[in-house]
Each structure stands twice: as structure tokens, then as C-alpha cells.
Structure 1
Amino acid sequence: MAKVYVVGTMDTKALELRYAAEQVRNAGGEPVLVDVSTQGAGEDADVAASVVAAHHPDGKEALEGLGDRGLAVSAMAKALTRFLGSRTDIGAVLGLGGTGNTALVTEAMRNLPIGLPKVMVSTVASGNTAPYVGPTDLTMMYSVVDIAGLNAISRKVIGNAAHAAAGMALNAVPVSQADKPGLGMSMFGVTTSCVTMVRQQMEKTHEVYIFHATGTGGQSMEKLADSGLVAGLIDITTTEVPDLLIGGVFPATEDRFGAVIRMKLPYVGSVGAVDMVNFGAMGSVPRQFCNRHLHVHNAQVTLMRTTPEENRRIGEFIVSRLNRMQGPVRFLLPLRGVSAIDAPGQPFHDPEADAALFEAMRSGWQAAPNRELIELDLHLSEPAFAEQLVRNFRDIAQF
């Protein structure tokens, strides 16, 4: 039977963690109590803190002598991530804690596959939970009272969370044999027409998942890839890269494209919407950019046109990741424009900036049997470009 891993710091939360484990057992589940104490020895658990610490990439010695609590929490989070990743009997993970333990446990939870139940009872769950949840299906439950002893409220909240985790572990949702293979796609407002045309074609054979390229959207798409829930990606919209490199509000992480590198999935990509950096309302644009070419997309979104030098950096970043991909890859360059507003007569039409992007990708490209860089004398929004995306994906995916 898949088990419920109950995770927390036994040196300070032993009573609460043991209660959670008891409630898991009462609900019919099998708990595994995991100690992640970083300051002093915790009480006995099914898995001692020293066992978890030994999974740190540098060994348990990496946690020894760390007087700074923040450093210790960060190191234990790395160890817990590796520990949970090594287990094959997890049906659900339940964490309890305040700010430190929430940061520790949720970092490990975010690295677990989509679909594996993750519940975090936390004192910070009613605030900004984005840093803890990230691109995952992580459930956070506000503890209402601090997790500092058992009382009428904490027993109810922790008990509910334990029963929820046990219920999910005992009633795993089966994968339907009728489901089509999953396909991840990235989209933004200015690439919608292209994405829509591709989606309509690919829905005949695939379950298509569209992700809005808002930073978290790209991370979510790649999380699905890492979790084995998609059979490939058509990554038309890579606009999160400019925001990462230049300072926009929808940035990718340095791991953008990392899931494709790791999973070797069939991948067809392009440079959709890399002609822009995204900011909020006009008044929120950083002072150093106020004299740049700005375009009001709507009341809440202001776009800044990327320069030739910025486009070179963007191209270099993307091609450096593409060169590391070992799976089947086709990357398509639309030489007549990369977004709906990068076309003749549109506000971001700038052939010089686009040329810098394309040249950076050409010069940085490393030829390999599995990878092909395809230049097309088309605009990204033209139906013929969408057809080429579909054709190339079907060629490399072989269905």
C-alpha cells in the first residue's frame, strides 16, 4: 500500500507530527514519520533526520556545523528533495510547519511529480503562497493557530489534512486508457493565432495543454514534462526568456528548457514574442526603461520592444539550451516577424532587432543528427508557419 510521508521537525513539532501520523492511520493509511530537524536532535521517527541528511548531494557533512538556521534549512531541503525522490512507496506527502519548515518541505514537494498528492499545513498559507507552490499541484492549508501544541483548533485542522492526505493515497486516480498522449504548448496574447491553428490540428491526435507564458506558465509546462505527463512540447512562445534576461515581470527561471534536456522529449520550438519585455501598468515600468519603445497592451500590461543587443542575448540563451538537447528537436525561425505586433505597420516591427536574434541563433547553433534549425520566410502568425510547426512535430514524434 502506498504510504503517507508525514514530514516535519521532530525537535520542535513532535507532538503535532505524531498526531498527524495517528490520524493518517485512523483513516486507513500507513504513515511514515520523517524528521527534518536541523537544530539539535529530534525525537525518534520512522526516518531520522540523519538519514535524510545523508541524501544531501555533498553528504550529511554538508549539514554539520551550520550555525545559521537559514543555511541549515536550505541544506536540509536539498537533502529531503533527494530523499523523497529516492522512494518508490509514496502515496502522499503531508507537511506541517511555520515559515522555515514550510520553505523546507515545499521545496522538496515541488520536485515531486504532478499528480502525487502533496499537502502542507502552514502558518503562512493565507498569504502569498506562490513561492511555496510554484508550478505544482501542491495543496496548502492555513493552520489558523500556530503549530505549537495541540488544541481544539489545531487538532481539527491537522486531522482534516491527515485524512485528506490518507484519502488521496488510498484512492489514487487511475490513468484512463482512453486518454490521448499529452502535448504541452506555450501561448501569449500576441501568439494566440498561431497557437490556435496548431492546437486545432494537434487535438486530432493529442490532449493539448496550453500554458500562458507568464513565468509560472512555462514552469508548469516543463513540470508536466518532468513528471512524464506529456509526450512532447510545441514551445511556440519563449517570451519568458527576455523577461528573465532584461528584468520583466513574467520571467523564466535559469532552468527554462531544462525539462526537455532531461527528458529527451520530442520538441518543436520557436521565438514567439521574444520581441518584448513585459511590465505592469505604465506607471510601474522601471525608471531606466521609461525612454524605451513602450506599447500599452492593456491597462495592466505594458510591453517594451527588445533592442538588437538584447535580442542577441536572447538568441544566445535559447541556442545554448537547444544545443544540450539530446532528443529529437526542430526549432523554427519566422524570418518575417515573431509576434502579432512585430510585422510591417505594427508598433514593434524592427527588422534590425529580429536579424540580431536570428544571427545569434545561427552562429551559436551546434549541428547534430537529432537537431535541426529551420528558417522560414514567413511571419509567425501566417497559417503556413503553423502548418510547418505541426508537420515538424509529427515528423519527429512519429504520430
Structure 2
Amino acid sequence: MEKSTGTIYAVATADTKGKELYFVRDLIAACGAKVVTVDLSTQTLSVDSQADFSAETVADFHPQGRAAVFCGDRGRAIDAMASAFEIFLSHRQDVAGIIGLGGSGGTALITPAMQALPIGIPKIMVSTMASGDIAGYIGASDISMLYSVTDVSGLNRISRQVLGNAAHQIAGAVLFQVAADASDKPALGLTMFGVTTPCIQAVSQALESEYDCLVFHATGSGGKAMEKLADSGMLAGVLDLTTTEVCDLLSGGVLACGEQRFDAIATSAVPYIVSCGALDMVNFGHPSTVPAKYADRRFYHHNAQVTLMRTTPEENVALAKWIAAKLNRCRGAVRFLIPEGGFSALDAPGQPFWWPEANQAFITTLEAELLQTDQRKIHYLPYNINHPLFAAAAVAAFRSLVAGEK
């Protein structure tokens, strides 16, 4: 482990959470870590703040100035301060870690700036919102959400314990960082689902001697995390062989990507191998959660809490159009590999999702919609996506892109 020489930023709205903020600051300092405090209050204070960076200082980073923050409307003020804080933090060159304290407003203020920080910088958000759906606060980042138990409103026997734990967690994470990987191997991003696991394992095994293979579970957040790394210039290439998240986006499944899927790939121009892994399925939870409009569809009960629904020819047409529109914007080299023998382990002869007509609807539409050039091409392979020869072809296609072959 290596010790950090950077600074921990402790952040809150000091007008309502000042006692808690400075309590956390003092505990972090007692551990021997360098710490500064930032006030994100959205109304000017009637007394001097102890914070190292005042709310006015942060608000000045808003493109429209502090008046955009201190506007008298709480909702607009929170949005404006969140933007100002993100810009403020991007100008700081010594951020070794960040800890935020807040309720719903404070969490909305602080977490966008956390999301913008690089993966690996410790981030802890102590929040009253941590016991619910926190996807919007986390995004594709590595933020640790800690439930405050009581409201973040004063110090008491519970809040002291929770805040103390959080302060020591951030101090420990910064003071005792895991040493950076000394390997000089470039990193690759790969997307995987349970029904494409054999393919991704084979691809990883073939490339791991040359590359650091980072596998992302295609659960909506997995694709976002992979693209965040690509956008940050941290990936030398992407083998996005499992694009099932788009099925959930278009059909209301529970593992949906966002509308921004593929956008980072388009702008980063990273060498890109893409396929239709698990485009034969939409994901739902327990059978009782499947929308009534899908009652007559073909299902596979993966386990008690996961129900898979087979995509139809009509849905595959929509999938192909959506994906092609995204890929047509890519500035870098793209190879789309079509596994003609099936899109997943369930989509094969004798398996419950085998439906060649549905797959052909995707293939025909992609052919019509994808603008093929020397940089952007479709390759057809007479295998199921999990066949060893498909994995070998994916590896060969990636090597060709890296070598600059057309």
C-alpha cells in the first residue's frame, strides 16, 4: 500500500449541517490525513462559516455566477449549486478523496461532482437517501453510499457513530491506498451476461497475456461504467459483445441502459468490436412483476427473482434501428459480429429462445440501417455466440483493428 499526499474534501450545506461537517473534519484530521471543508449552502449565511471554501466561493464557479445559485428558489438553487460544485471540484488538483453529508437536497448537490471524478478516488456519501433506489446518485461511479439512520440533523448517539465510521473509512481509504498496478498492459472493456459467459471467458483468456481484461456485467450500470472508462481514455479497446441492455431500454425491462449508450464509444473512437449478445431477451424480476401486456409472450424463469422474455421479430427491428443509429455516429473503427447460430445460450437449436425469424429480423434491419464503410463493417459468423470459433473470430477482428487493417 502507498500513502496519499492529497487532500480529503469534506462537503455539506454548512448552514444546516455545520456541526456534522466539522465533527467529520476533526476526526479525519485526527487520523493524520489532510482535510478541507466545503460549504454548499444555497442561501447566504448570517454568520461567518468555518468552511475552508465558502458557499459564495463555490457559487462563483457557476457559468452565470453566484446569482444563479442564490436565486431564492430552492429547486433551482440546488441544481445551480450542483453544477457550480462540479466545476469547482474539477479545478482542484489535490483531490485524494471526498466525503459528503446530506439529506435529499445535499445528496443531489454533492453526488454529480463525485460521479465526475475518476474511478478509484475514494468517495463516501452519508445520506438519508441511501436506503432507497440510489442509482441516480451513483451513476457509473464507485460512490459508497452510507445510510445515516437518523436524519443528518445534529449530533446524537447514533449520528456520532455513523459519521465517525464514515470519517474513518474515508481517512483509511486515502491514507492506505492500494498501490497502482505496475503492469504496463493496456486495458480492454468487455461486456458479459450469464448467457454469454463462455464467449467472454474465451476472449479474455486469449487476450489476457497482452491486455488487462475488464469484464462488465451487462446490467445497465455495467455498460455505463464501461463507457465511462472509455470516455476517460482508460481503455485501449472495447469488445462490447453483450448489448442486451438495449432490449430492456426499449421494452421496459429492469436492466436497461440509458439513452446515452454507445455515445462514449462514438466520441472516444476506441477500437470497437460489437455484437448482439443476449439481444434475444428482456429482463424482469419475479413473474408477478412482468407487465400484463406481455402475458402471452415466451418466458424463461432463470431463477425465483429473474424472468426472461424472448424478444419478437418486431422488437428486433426496433433494436437494430436504435443500435445502427448510434453506431453510425462512431468516429473510430467498428466491427459488428453477427452470430448466425444464436445470440445467447438460450438462443440455440433445442433451447427455449431459439427463434431464427426473430434473429433474422435484427440482421436484415441492421444491414439496411448501418452505414458500412472501410471503418464500419458487419461480419457474419455461422456460430452461436458461445461457440469457441466465434470467440476466436472476435479476437482476430480486434487484433486486425489494432493493427490498422481494413
Q: 1:62-99: CA deviations, max 9, x gaps?
A: 445362x3443234323323332333211111111122
Specify whether residues 90 and 374 from structure 1 end up closer, same or farther in structure 2 by C-alpha distance, changes over 3 A only. same
2:297 match: secondary structure? coil
Compute the displacement of 1:2 (Å): 1.2
Q: CA deviation at 1:33?
A: 1.9
Gaps of 5+ in 1: none
- Find the aligned partners of 1:374 and 1:17 in 2 and give their Cα distance: 57
Equivalence map 1:28-107=2 (5 Å): 28-41=32-45, 43-44=48-49, 45-56=51-62, 60=66, 62-63=68-69, 65=71, 67=73, 69-107=74-112
* TM-score between the two structures when normalised by the length of structure 1: 0.89
1:183 paired with 2:188, answer yes
Distance in 1, matches of 2:346 and 2:187, equals 30
Aligned amino acid, residue 303 of structure 2? N
Cα distance change of structure 1 residues 340 and 141 upon mapping to structure 2, 3 Å threshold: closer
Write the deviation string for residues 191-226 of structure 1: whole angstroms up to 9, x where unpaired: 222222212212232232222222222223333434
Say if 2:280 and 2:343, in contact at 8 Å, map to a contact too: yes
Q: Does 1:311 align with 2:316?
A: yes
1:149 paired residue number = 154
Gaps of 5+ in 2: none
Which of 4, 23, 33 is the equivalent residue of 2:8? 4
Distance 1:185 1:146, change over 3 A: same
CA contact (8 A) 1:2 1:170 kept: no
8 A contact 2:69–2:78 mirrored in 1:
no
Moved more, 4-13 or 139-148: 139-148
Which residue is 1:162 aligned to?
Answer: 167
Give how far 1:101 is off. 0.9
* Backbone CA RMSD of aligned residues: 2.7
Whichever residue aligns with residue 4 of structure 1, its letter is I
Match of 1:293 in 2: 298
Q: Aligned-pair distance for 1:59?
A: 5.4
Q: Residue 237 of structure 2 corresponds to which residue in structure 1?
A: 232
Partner of 2:27: 23
Match of residue 391 from structure 1: 396
Aligned residues: 398
3-state DSSP of counterpart to 1:192: helix
Compared CA separation, residues 157 and 299, structure 1 to 2 (3 A):
closer
| Counterpart-to-counterpart distance in 2, 1:151 and 1:158 | 10
Over 3 Å counting, the alpha-carbon distance change for 1:182 and 1:344 in structure 2 is same
CA distance in 2: counterparts of 1:368 and 1:72, whole angstroms: 48
Q: 2:252 aligns with which of 230, 247, 252?
A: 247
Which of 222, 233, 241 is the matching residue for 1:217?
A: 222
Moved more, 275-284 or 48-57: 48-57
Q: Which amino acid aligns with 1:254?
A: E
Q: Is the 8 A contact 1:194 1:381 kept in 2?
A: yes
Distance 1:8 1:53 in 2: 14
Pick the aligned partner of 1:366 from 371, 382, 389: 371
The one-letter code of the counterpart of 1:217 is: G
CA contact (8 A) 2:44 2:56 kept: no
The more displaced of 234-243 and 77-86 is 77-86
Report the Cα distance in structure 2 between the residues aligned to 1:377 and 1:370, rounded to whole angstroms: 23
Q: CA deviation at 1:152?
A: 4.8
Deviation at 1:280, TM superposition (A): 1.8
Q: Which moved more, 1:284-293 or 1:258-267?
A: 258-267
Q: What is the aligned-residue identity percentage?
A: 48
Indicate the larger mover: 304-313 or 23-32: 23-32
Aligned to 1:379: 384
Where 2:81 maps in the other structure, the secondary structure is helix
TM-score (norm 2): 0.87
Compare 74-83 and 386-395 and name the one that shifted more: 74-83
Q: Distance in 2 between matches of 1:396 and 1:81?
A: 36
TM-fit CA distance, 1:387: 1.0
Alpha-carbon offset, residue 335 of structure 1: 2.9
> SS where residue 166 of structure 1 aligns?
helix
Call closer, same or farther: CA 1:99–1:359 in 2, change over 3 Å. Answer: same
Partners of 2:33 and 2:295 in 1: CA distance: 58
1:333 corresponds to 2:338: yes
Q: Which stretch shifts more, 228-237 or 88-97?
A: 228-237
How far the C-alpha of 1:130 sits from its partner, in A, is: 4.2
- In the alignment, the residues of structure 2 paired with residue 222 and residue 102 of structure 1 have an alpha-carbon distance, to the nearest angstrom, of 24
Deviation at 1:176, TM superposition (A): 2.4
Q: Is the 8 A contact 1:330 1:373 kept in 2?
A: yes
Rounded to whole Å, the distance in 2 between the matches of 1:20 and 1:298 is 43
1:61 deviation in Å? 5.1
Letter matched to residue 358 of structure 2: A
AA of the residue aligned to 2:208: E
Task: Output the CA distance in 1 between the equivalents of 2:216 and 2:187.
Answer: 13
Q: For the residues of structure 2 that align with 1:219 and 1:212, how far apart are their CA atoms?
A: 10
Partner of 2:210: 205
After superposition, the Cα gap between the structure-2 partners of 1:87 and 1:322, relative to the gap in structure 1 and judged at 3 Å, is farther
Separation of aligned partners in 1, 2:356 and 2:382: 13
C-alpha spacing 1:126/1:306, structure 2 compared with 1 (3 Å): closer
Q: Find the aligned partners of 1:370 and 1:283 in 2 and give their Cα distance.
A: 45
Q: Which amino acid letter does the alignment assign opposite residue 159 of structure 2?
A: S
**Secondary structure at the counterpart of residue 270 of structure 1:** strand
User: How far 1:251 moved relative to its partner?
Assistant: 0.6
